[in-house]
């Protein structure tokens, strides 16, 4: 049904207009308590086998909404009701900013991807804090993703992140330092360990000082060299971070899906970050590399090109405790997360698994031999 609506109607409109309309509809859902509770009862994950605990936080299911959809935290309840096990809001910056000029969001449907150069359009940390402090009508796990305000020079980046962290860490179930979006000039340079260490250390001090000690994660780009992925993993361990989110969008275009469906997509070469199916292989590769490096000493959150329960399953087996997605929702519709959790639930039941921990990391380096080879677990 959604696919029909998408191809016949939505795909004819500007993707950002459709996004704003969707956010408005979701907001309406959020301000209608009875409907919100009903939707939550029908669609949110309820199977105890899907529950997962990461960095001290309880998640009703492993699959959550990646950052970038809910920039100003207005859809947390609606997206949780629709079946996401957590919602990562943002990226939020210390100061409100308009983002880049439109058009800045493009579908690349043959490749099942999205290109965006939004540039952290958001109403700022203060506004998000006001939204996040309101009581909620349905349970929701909320990650808050923070980034650098565009006009703030790199030399003042640490203070800018700290300002956001002070506002938002007390309201977050976990906090994410985003240094990996390609659309803020210079942002990804902060991934260099010499710059990243003081930044993460300063934000961690703020996160550690909240009454519940807010878990802190860093989100990295898929375009890092493998050695740099290792260096960030080592740094995260050294600083006592809680986890790593991998990955953000890519600036590469030499990826497998370019020619899918014959002709390349019209907007394939737009400037910006590419997400969705073309990112799948690299995102999985980075996850495997991180798992080989850190084992289960850090929580790994895998994101990039996840389209269905098979993809989520594969990431869990490869060592992710949580998995996120965004782009495929544009092609799959509002029941996407619900369907993924339902299928995962069936899969666990078929195998008699009552605790997701039995699955996480099962096919990560070395584990195959421990379990006597488990090809059958892959599906």
Ligand X SMILES: Cc1cc2nc3c(=O)[nH]c(=O)nc-3n(C[C@H](O)[C@H](O)[C@H](O)COP(=O)(O)O)c2cc1C
Q: Are 339 and 2 in contact (CB under 8 A)?
A: no
91 is known to lie in a ligand binding site = yes
What are residue 156's phi and psi, to 5 degrees?
A: -110, 15
User: Residue 211: CB partners within 8 Å, gap ≥ 6?
Assistant: 170
What DSSP designation does 175 have? E
Smaller CB separation from ligand X, 60 or 113: 113
13 is known to lie in a ligand binding site = no
Respond yes or no: is residue 181 known to be catalytic. yes
Name which position in 304, 319, 334, 361 contacts ligand X (CB under 6 A).
304
User: Residue 215: CB partners within 8 Å, gap ≥ 6?
Assistant: 55, 56, 57, 173, 174, 175, 207, 242, 243
121 is known to lie in a ligand binding site = no
Contact between 243 and ligand X per CB under 6 A: no
Angle at 313 between CA 361 and CA 315, to 5 degrees: 55
Smaller CB separation from ligand X, 30 or 116: 116
Report 68-97 residues binding ligand X (CB under 6 A). Answer: 68, 90-91
374 is known to lie in a ligand binding site = no
Smaller CB separation from ligand X, 76 or 328: 328
Contact between 66 and ligand X per CB under 6 A: yes
Q: Strand 174-178 and strand 113-116: pairing?
A: unpaired
Binding letters toward ligand X, positions 259-298, x by CB under 6 A: ----------------xx--x-------------------
Q: Are 364 and 319 in contact (CB under 8 A)?
A: yes
Cα 311 to Cα 15: distance, rounded to the nearest angstrom: 25
Q: Are 206 and 182 in contact (CB under 8 A)?
A: no
- Give the range of 112-120, 255-263, 294-302, 371-379 binding ligand X by CB under 6 A: 112-120
Smaller CB separation from ligand X, 49 or 200: 200
Q: Which residue is nearest to ligand X (CB)?
A: 68
Name which position in 59, 84, 174, 326 contacts ligand X (CB under 6 A).
326
Smaller CB separation from ligand X, 204 or 282: 282
What distance, in Å, lies between the first and last C-alpha atoms of the chain?
A: 26
Q: Are 62 and 353 in contact (CB under 8 A)?
A: no
Peptide bond into 247 cis (omega under 30): yes
Cα 248 to Cα 155: distance, rounded to the nearest angstrom: 23
Contact between 244 and ligand X per CB under 6 A: no
Catalytic: which of 80, 181, 283, 345? Answer: 181
Q: Shortest approach of ligand X to residue 120 CB, angstroms?
A: 6
Angle at 110 between CA 262 and CA 247, to 5 degrees: 125
Smaller CB separation from ligand X, 230 or 308: 308
Q: Are 186 and 153 in contact (CB under 8 A)?
A: no
Contact between 149 and ligand X per CB under 6 A: no
Contact between 214 and ligand X per CB under 6 A: no
- Give the range of 53-61, 301-309, 336-344, 359-367 binding ligand X by CB under 6 A: 301-309
Closest listed residue to residue 180, CA positions, set 148, 154, 138, 216? 148
Catalytic machinery residues: 181
Known binding positions: 67-71, 91, 116-120, 145, 178, 183, 219, 247-249, 276, 305, 326-327
- Residues in contact with ligand X by CB under 6 A are 66-68, 90-91, 105, 114, 116, 118, 120, 145, 178, 181, 219, 248-249, 275-276, 279, 303-306, 325-328
């Amino acid at each position: 049904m959604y696919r029909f609506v998408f191809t016949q109607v939505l795909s004819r409109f500007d993707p950002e207009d459709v996004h704003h309309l969707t956010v408005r509809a979701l907001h309406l859902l959020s301000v209608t308590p009875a409907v919100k509770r009903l939707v939550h009862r029908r669609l949110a994950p309820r199977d105890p086998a899907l529950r997962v605990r990461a960095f001290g936080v309880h998640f009703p299911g492993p699959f959550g909404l990646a950052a970038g959809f809910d920039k100003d935290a207005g859809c947390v309840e609606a997206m949780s009701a629709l079946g996401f096990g957590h919602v990562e809001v943002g990226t939020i910056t210390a100061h409100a900013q308009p983002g880049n000029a439109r058009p800045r969001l493009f579908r690349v449907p043959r490749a099942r991807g999205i290109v965006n150069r939004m540039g952290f359009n958001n109403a700022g940390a203060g506004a998000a804090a006001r939204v996040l402090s309101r009581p909620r009508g349905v349970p929701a796990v909320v990650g808050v993703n923070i980034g650098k305000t565009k006009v703030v020079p790199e030399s003042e980046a640490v203070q800018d992140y700290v300002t956001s962290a002070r506002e938002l860490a007390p309201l977050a179930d976990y906090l994410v330092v985003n240094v990996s979006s390609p659309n803020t000039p210079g942002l990804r340079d902060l991934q260099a360990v010499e710059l990243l260490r003081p930044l993460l250390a300063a934000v961690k001090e703020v996160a550690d000082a909240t009454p519940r000690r807010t878990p802190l994660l860093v989100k990295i780009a898929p375009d890092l060299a493998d050695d740099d992925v290792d260096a960030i993993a080592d740094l995260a361990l050294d600083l006592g971070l809680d986890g790593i989110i991998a990955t953000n969008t890519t600036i590469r275009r030499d990826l497998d899906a370019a020619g899918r469906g014959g002709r390349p997509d019209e907007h394939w070469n737009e400037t910006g970050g590419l997400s969705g199916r073309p990112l799948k292989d690299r995102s999985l590769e980075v996850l495997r590399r991180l798992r080989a490096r850190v084992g289960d000493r850090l929580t790994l959150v895998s994101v990039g090109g996840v389209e269905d329960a098979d993809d989520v399953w594969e990431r869990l087996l490869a060592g992710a405790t949580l998995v996120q997605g965004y782009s495929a929702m544009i092609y799959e519709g509002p029941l996407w997360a619900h369907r993924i959790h339902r299928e995962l639930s069936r899969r666990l039941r078929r195998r008699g698994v009552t605790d997701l921990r039995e699955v996480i990391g099962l096919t990560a380096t070395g584990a195959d031999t421990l379990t006597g080879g488990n090809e059958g677990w892959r599906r």
